[in-house]
Every structure is written in structure tokens, then in C-alpha cells.
Structure 1
Amino acid sequence: DTYICQITETMAANPLGESLLSFSIDLYKQLISESGRSGNVFYSPFSISAALSMALAGARNTTAKQLTEVLHVNSDDIHKHFSSFFSQLSGFSPDVKLHVANRMYADRAFPVLDTYLS
């Protein structure tokens, strides 16, 4: 219970928390509507939002606007918020390590900006 309270407080104190909550609810509603309420839905909104924020780092124009709307974030701040969130999580229990991994693959038909690759 202590850790849950601390994590809840951390999410409330970090702008990422509010954004992640809004994104999670929107995504849940979408997944439930597509599943026809006939089965269980299992997903990680945190991991999905982290992966989409990676895409946002390289997105421009309409795509960037759509991603910021879906994620409920300001594109200039999201990576700072993720960094802050991870550093705060490590303070709850120093002996517990959280490993998160996301990978993106680009379709060769679409050029990736050099600024994103570096």
C-alpha cells in the first residue's frame, strides 16, 4: 500500500501522470469498443505511450500534432517528464530495478530524418 500511495503521489506531481492517465482511459475505451466487450483486454498504457513518444521525437507537422493530442502532452516537454518520472520511481525502493524496453522499426519506403537518427 505504501508504494502504491507513493507512486500515485509521484504521478500526480509529474505532468506525465495526468497525461498518462488521460491516454490510458482513452486507449482503454478504444480497445473495449473494438473487442466488443467479449473478452479480456490486457495492455500496458505506459509502454505504449513511451513508444509513441519515441515516434513523437521524430514527428513533424500533422503527425506531431496528432501524437501530442493522443498522448495529451506538449511535445517539447514529454521526454523531460519521462526522465523525471523514472528518476522518482527509483527512489521508492532502491533495491528494485525497473527495466523498460521499446524498439521502433521504420518502413524503408519512408525516409527517416537524419536529426531523428542522431
Structure 2
Amino acid sequence: MNNDFAFHLYKRLVEMPDYQSKNIFFSPFSVSMALSELSLGAGGETKKQLLSGIGHNSSVFSTEEMHEMFHSLLEEIDQRTGVDIDVGSALYASDKSKPHPKFLENMKEFYHSDGFTVDFSAAETLEKINTYVKEKTHGKIDRAVDSLDPNTIMLLLTYIYFKVLCLDYNDSFSMFLAVPDENKAQTIKDLEKAISREHIEKWRGAVRER
């Protein structure tokens, strides 16, 4: 589900005018995790659209099983020692709102999400959020949020810190570099339109040491 979501989101991004001819770098896992988290506190049409957006299929597994799978993946990532990686989220709720306690409990249980009650009109709230992100990303991102709307009711942020570029790849992590076939006069646009989860699965099964 998450792999399909990654390519659906990627293709939407490359079609947007603001991203034409620009490099695109994002974590599809962080995005789908955030949307899945939000569905814990949603209902009706909102919940339906959130689940549809990340590609959840109730005939394959239930929403409860989906949350359990995200939880298992986060647990697995936390236990890895061969790669320096840190993934998580935090929920900031306005002190003028009253999120349902069960929503916050589920966020903590399934997604290890920290929860904070804040005053979005206070200047120190902005600094608190940026300090939190800075600590979680080992100082790499020191200004995640530039400003806050004082009328904000809730803010959900996700972060991912992934240092592997100066380390040997191990512990089941891998990276694929894909380029268009110049012999067929293909361009990066041709690659963007064609690439899918099936390509990655095919390449992963075909690689060998040499």
C-alpha cells in the first residue's frame, strides 16, 4: 500500500507547475504515516478520503490492521542498529480545543507520537516546535516552521533523520538509481511517467553482486 502511494504521490508532484524541472525529494512513508495517524481522529467523509488517499483497501486489511502495520514498521526501524535513522511525529493541539483522549492514546500507542497542548498565538510556541524538530533531526533542520496562524487548532508534524551517505549500506536498507534509456532517446519525463512499484520489485529481485 505504501509503495503504491509513493508512486501515486510522486507522479502528482512532478505534474505540478511549481515542481517542473526541479529535483523532488520526499519521504512517502512520512506522508502516509501522517495521513494514517489523522484518520484515527477522523470520521465520516473526512476519514473516508484520508484512507482512500493513502490507498487503504478494506477488503485486504482493516484500519486496525493498518495501524498495527505502521506500528510494527516503526518498531522495526527503532530496533535497527546498522543504520542511523530516526522517524517519528508530534501533535500540537491548541489549548482552546479538546482532542478526544482516545485519539491521543491511539496516536501514542500506534505511532509513538508525542502530544503537546500549546497556545498558537504565543511566540514561544514557534520556538518550541522548531527546537523539537532540531533535536529529532540531530541539528540538521533548525527552522521547520517560519510562522504560525494564531487560529490554528492542530498541527501534526513528521520528521525523518536518515544518515547513510557516509556509511556502508547494511541492515536491509538499499537505494536504487534509475536513469532513462538514452539508446531509446528517452528523457527523465518518460521515466517519471512510466515508473511504478512493479519496476522496483522487479529490479530488487534481479540484482546480483558483481
Instruction: Tell me which interval the TM-score lies in, with the shorter structure as reference length.
Output: 0.5 to 0.7
Comparing 102-111 with 25-34, which one deviates more in the overlay? 102-111
Q: How does 1:28-67 map to 2 (within 5 A)?
A: 28-34=10-16, 35-67=18-50
Greater relative contact order structure (CA < 8 Å, 6+ sep):
1
Bigger share in helix: 1
1:71 maps to a residue whose letter is I
Matching residue within 88, 100, 104 for 1:101: 88
Deviation of 1:86 (Å): 3.6
Corresponding position: 1:26 with 2:13: no
SS at match of 1:83: helix
- When normalised by structure 1's length, the TM-score is 0.66
2:88 maps to a residue whose letter is A
Are the counterparts in 1 of residues 35 and 50 from structure 2 also a CA contact under 8 Å? Answer: yes
Q: CA RMSD in A?
A: 2.7
Unaligned runs of 5+ in 1: 1-18
Unaligned runs of 5+ in 2: 57-61, 106-210
Comparing 50-59 with 104-113, which one deviates more in the overlay? 104-113
Larger Rg: 2
Task: Give the paired residue count.
Answer: 99
Comparing 62-71 with 73-82, which one deviates more in the overlay? 73-82
Comparing 37-46 with 76-85, which one deviates more in the overlay? 76-85
1:102 maps to a residue whose letter is S
Bigger share in strand: 2
Are the counterparts in 2 of residues 56 and 64 from structure 1 also a CA contact under 8 Å? Answer: yes
Are the counterparts in 1 of residues 78 and 86 from structure 2 also a CA contact under 8 Å? Answer: no
| Partner residue in 2 for 1:82 | 70
1:25 maps to a residue whose letter is F
Deviation of 1:87 (Å): 4.3
